[in-house]
Amino acid sequence: MDRSENNSVKVTKNMHHQTISAHMTHVIAGGTGGTVGALITCPLEVVKTRLQASTSRAKLAKVSGSKRSAGVIFALRHIVKSEGIGALFRGLGPNLLGIAPSRAIYFGAYARGKSFFNSTFKPESPQVHLCSAGFAGFTACTITNPIWFVKTRLQLDTTHGAYRNSWQCIRYTYKNDGLRGFYKGVSASYVGISETVIHFVIYEQLKQLFRKYHNIEHKNFLDFLSFMGAAAISKTTASCLAYPHEVARTRLREHGTKYRSFVQTLRTVAVEEGFFALYGGLFAHLVRQIPNTAIVMVTYETVVYVLSQV
């Protein structure tokens, strides 16, 4: 092998290592961002889940005297008063266990998808962002659904320990429903990919708009503030458009309920509780998701930037 061939092999290897390094940067950044966001917003996640579920939603409405649903502040106070402040962090274990790999898988798959689709479509076009977000969402949902199932079951436990811990919940589910039990609600999660797609398409377009007015090589505080604003706008829009899948997913994961499929759940909720029940917990969801998404995306962008400078 002559010198030119050796140089060619070295260049190819270096490009390969750089590609792997770039993908690992997105994996690490995604995991870090997800973990920070989950820690800060866990209490609102618990309230949102309670307001989505049929049994706990009805209990909170009865206690508050509301005909439809209790408010976020009332739900927070009631949970602390009746179950203790620790109840606001139910499911935090599987949430932390799941959020880091989930975000790492998602952002890693998203980066890899962009690399592929940029060579297929016009680079950094809406089509690239749409296909990349869809691919990443499907990958993350399929791999991590069992973790979110356990988290939801723990958050809906209002009996002070029907499931004492994640392991007991896992054993009970496997004993009664087998492996399929851990994938309850996955159909709603797949439908929910549309929310992620909308979010990332808008976010990427806003980022491109901001790049016209900012130096992308040397970021400052205003750049990261603009990322936070872009994340908040895109997530709010996506959440409002796709929210009913969240309610359907939570109902499908409840224990011993009549909900069997995604479409059947939507129809049952709308008929029995009214159309607005499909948006139960939306305010709590937005109160949690907007800062959570802003924190996740800014942390992600910060870690990517820092690692790229190393």
pLDDT of 10 higher than 50: no
Q: Which domains does the chain have, with CATH numbers?
A: 11-46+85-309 (1.50.40.10)
End-to-end CA distance of the chain: 34
Contacts of 42 (CB under 8 A, 6+ apart): 88, 89, 91, 92, 95
Rounded to a whole number of angstroms, the CA Rg of the chain reads: 21
Tell which wins on pLDDT, 103 or 273: 273
CB 296 within 8 A of CB 37: yes
Average pLDDT over residues 248-254: 89
Number of Cβ within a 10 Å radius of residue 215: 9
> What is the pLDDT, as a whole number, of residue 162?
62
CB 214 within 8 A of CB 223: yes
Mean residue pLDDT across the chain? 81
CB 199 within 8 A of CB 107: no
161 residue type, one letter: G
| pLDDT band at 159; cut points 50, 70, 90 | low
Tell which wins on pLDDT, 116 or 61: 116
